[in-house]
Amino acid sequence: QVQLVESGGGVVQPGRSLRLSCAASGFTFSSFGMHWVRQAPGKGLEWVAVISNDGSRKWYADSVKGRFTISRDDSQNTLFLQMSSLGAEDTALYYCVKKFRAGSNPEALDYWGQGTLVTVSS
Amino acid sequence: ENVLTQSPGTLSLSPGDTATLSCRASQSVRGNYFAWYQQKPGQTPRLLIYSASYRAPGIPDRFSGSGSGTDFTLTISRLEPEDFAVYYCQQYGGSPYTFGQGAKLEIK
């Protein structure tokens, strides 16, 4: 079965960096685009970034553009989110999410990891 | 950015009722690439509807989606106790892939 396990969250000071990882299993990772979605405590969902199945195309929310970088290592079935210049507004539970279907067409999001909590605080 | 506005913010109904949740986009959604998700407290979101009107695998036929362009609707018939949750709409026709602010379906 599909499993997505995020790691790398924690408490970080404002202005610092953090790298999140997501270990994927149970599906052909290299065939699927992957997303990061975040949810601040008690708030709604905010889409963060997406990377295509081959890693050639990446898109970001305006709120993170220029600060966050999404990447993938298909040899390790792992998705990454490099976050820099973190601020209090980045405090959230970060979910790794799989595209519903393989291929290059736009797709909804189906499997979600349990998330890793990032807290930006001095 | 395509801003999605859900209404109502909270809907209070009883089991057996029919719930109608709306989502309006500030721009037309390309290709009707539009989804609905359900999130219960302490759980991850679950995909209900994709491409505006197609049920995801394993989703009961009590859930139905409709709409196109800028106006979309999620209808839940014959509400069951487990349906009371927060519902989010999302457009994925173009980046950024925005979500609505969420709508809470609560037991009356």
Integer Cα distance of A71 and A73 in angstroms:
7
Query: What does pLDDT average to over chain B?
Result: 97
Beta carbons of B98 and B91 less than 8 angstroms apart: yes
Q: What pLDDT is stored for residue A18 in this prediction?
A: 98
Q: Which residue of chain A is at minimal alpha-carbon distance from B103? A: A44
Q: What pLDDT is stored for residue A1 in this prediction?
A: 94
Q: Mind telling me how many Å the CA of B52 is from chain A's nearest CA?
A: 10
| Partner residue facing A44 (CB), from B95, B96, B101 | B101
Kindly tell me the burial class for residue A42, based on how many C-beta atoms sit within 10 Å of its own C-beta (0-12, 13-18, 19 or more): exposed
- DSSP strand pairing (B103-107 vs B10-13): parallel
Integer Cα distance of A85 and A81 in angstroms:
13
A59 with B88: Cβ contact below 8 A: no
Q: What pLDDT is stored for residue A104 in this prediction?
A: 81
Find residues 2-31 of chain A whose CB sits inside 8 Å of chain B: none
Query: What does the DSSP 8-state code read for residue A63?
Result: T
Beta carbons of B56 and A100 less than 8 angstroms apart: yes
Length of chain B, in residues = 108
Any A CB within 8 A of B35 CB: yes
Q: What pLDDT is stored for residue B81 in this prediction?
A: 96
Q: What pLDDT is stored for residue A14 in this prediction?
A: 97
Beta carbons of B46 and B87 less than 8 angstroms apart: no
Any A CB within 8 A of B95 CB: yes
Q: What pLDDT is stored for residue B27 in this prediction?
A: 96
Q: What pLDDT is stored for residue A10 in this prediction?
A: 97
Q: What pLDDT is stored for residue A103 in this prediction?
A: 83
- DSSP strand pairing (A116-120 vs A10-12): parallel
How big is the CA angle at B11 (ends B6 and B13), to the nearest 5 degrees?
150
Find residues 52-111 of chain A whose CB sits inside 8 Å of chain B: 59-62, 95, 100, 106-110
Rounded to 10 degrees, the C-alpha dihedral B38/B40/B42/B48 comes to -20
Integer Cα distance of B41 and B19 in angstroms:
19
Question: What residues have CB less than 8 Å from B57, skipping those under 6 apart?
Answer: none
Chain A positions touching B96 (Cβ under 8 A) are 47, 59-62
Q: For residue A48, is it left (φ>0), alpha (ψ between -120 and 50) or beta? A: alpha
Kindly tell me the burial class for residue B104, based on how many C-beta atoms sit within 10 Å of its own C-beta (0-12, 13-18, 19 or more): middle
Integer Cα distance of A113 and A94 in angstroms:
9
Q: Mind telling me how many Å the CA of A3 is from chain B's nearest CA?
A: 13
Which stretches of chain B drop beneath a pLDDT of 50?
Answer: none
**pLDDT tens track, chain A, 122 positions:** 999 999 999 999 999 999 999 999 999 999 999 999 999 999 999 999 999 999 999 999 999 999 999 999 999 999 999 999 999 999 999 999 999 998 888 899 999 999 999 999 99
